[in-house]
Amino acid sequence: MPPSIVLVGENHAFNANPRFVLPAPSAGDVDRIAFARAQDPALKLAAAGYLDLCPAPKAQAQMQREAIRAALDQIDMLGLDDGLGATPLVYAVIADDLANLRRFPDIGYPVNRQRGVLLLDAAMHASGPVIDDLLRRGIPIDTVDDHGTTALMVAAGQQRTDTVRFLLARGADPNLRNRDGGSALGYALVCGYTDSAQTLLQGGAEIDAKVLQIAGKVGVLEQVQNFRRDQ
């Protein structure tokens, strides 16, 4: 188990294990969040266990989200973060908790200060309403993290086809590259000629040399070349 960090405010604290987020998502990446019992009983934070959304069955992941939402419902103060800079807003996004995502800015947690983290985490974990809420608050759909990774790249790498389609419909650029030259299509193809990869191709994603290289390594070069030939 990773060592706990304390999510602290001026007079209150609760434990939370750190998140592990790679700058460029790839197949098999796992984002883990853990909530432990509150040190300060005033916060009444429930133990939620590991939030392990990638491999977890849907029913288990939903139970974990609900436990985190119950914990977030108890927060009514400013100044909390997990020592890595993630505020309750980030945890609300990861738990797909639209109600608290809307409530925390009213308390005083600024959305724009963590806009890249919020949108990329939403692409990995959240549903359309949470993503839409962030976009309505002025977060650019192609905002990037420090590595140049976009929300569309994250959704593609996690094979979240509905989210890929959702982001494309709202104007996400499928042809941006991060600092490694990775694209949304490239990340999608790591898992094969998946629905996410096909959705990106249909949405205008370019087939460049790096994409062809990835397709060749995973054995789907013929499908990608056939798509390009048919266009």
Q: Is the pLDDT of residue 14 over 90?
A: no
The CATH number of the domain holding residue 79 is 1.25.40
| The pLDDT of residue 80 | 80
Q: Helices in the chain by DSSP H: which ranges?
A: 58-72, 88-94, 98-107, 115-125, 128-136, 151-157, 161-169, 184-189, 195-202, 209-217, 221-230
Asked whether residue 194 is domain-assigned, the answer is no
Give the closest residue to 12 by CA, choosing from 76, 73, 105: 76
- The C-alpha angle with vertex 49 and arms to 196 and 84, in degrees rounded to 5, equals 75
Asked whether residue 30 is domain-assigned, the answer is yes
Count of the separate structural domains present in the chain: 1
Q: Is the pLDDT of residue 63 over 80?
A: no
Q: Which residues contact 91 (CB under 8 A, 6 or more apart)?
A: 16, 33, 68, 72, 97
Q: Is the pLDDT of residue 77 over 80?
A: yes
Q: Which of 78-82, 117-121, 170-174, 185-189 is predicted least confidently?
A: 78-82
The pLDDT confidence band at residue 53, using thresholds 50, 70 and 90, is: very low
The whole-angstrom separation of Cα 197 and Cα 194 is 5
Give 149-163 pLDDT, tens digit per residue.
Answer: 999 999 999 899 999
Asked whether residue 224 is domain-assigned, the answer is no
Asked whether residue 186 is domain-assigned, the answer is no
| The pLDDT of residue 56 | 45
The pLDDT confidence band at residue 104, using thresholds 50, 70 and 90, is: very high
Asked whether residue 71 is domain-assigned, the answer is yes
Asked whether residue 198 is domain-assigned, the answer is no
Asked whether residue 203 is domain-assigned, the answer is no
- 24-37 mean pLDDT: 29
Asked whether residue 108 is domain-assigned, the answer is yes
Q: Is the pLDDT of residue 74 over 70?
A: yes
* Average pLDDT score, the chain: 75
Q: Is the pLDDT of residue 168 over 60?
A: yes
Give 171-203 pLDDT, tens digit per residue.
Answer: 999 999 999 899 999 999 988 899 999 999 999
| The pLDDT of residue 49 | 29
What is the pTM assigned to this prediction?
A: 0.75
The pLDDT confidence band at residue 35, using thresholds 50, 70 and 90, is: very low
Query: Which structural domain range is residue 93 located in?
Result: 5-139
**CA 132, chain centre distance (Å):** 14
Q: Which residues contact 202 (CB under 8 A, 6 or more apart)?
A: none
Burial call 5-14: b when 16+ CB within 10 Å, e when fewer: eebbeeebeb
Burial call 166-177: b when 16+ CB within 10 Å, e when fewer: bbbeeebbbebb
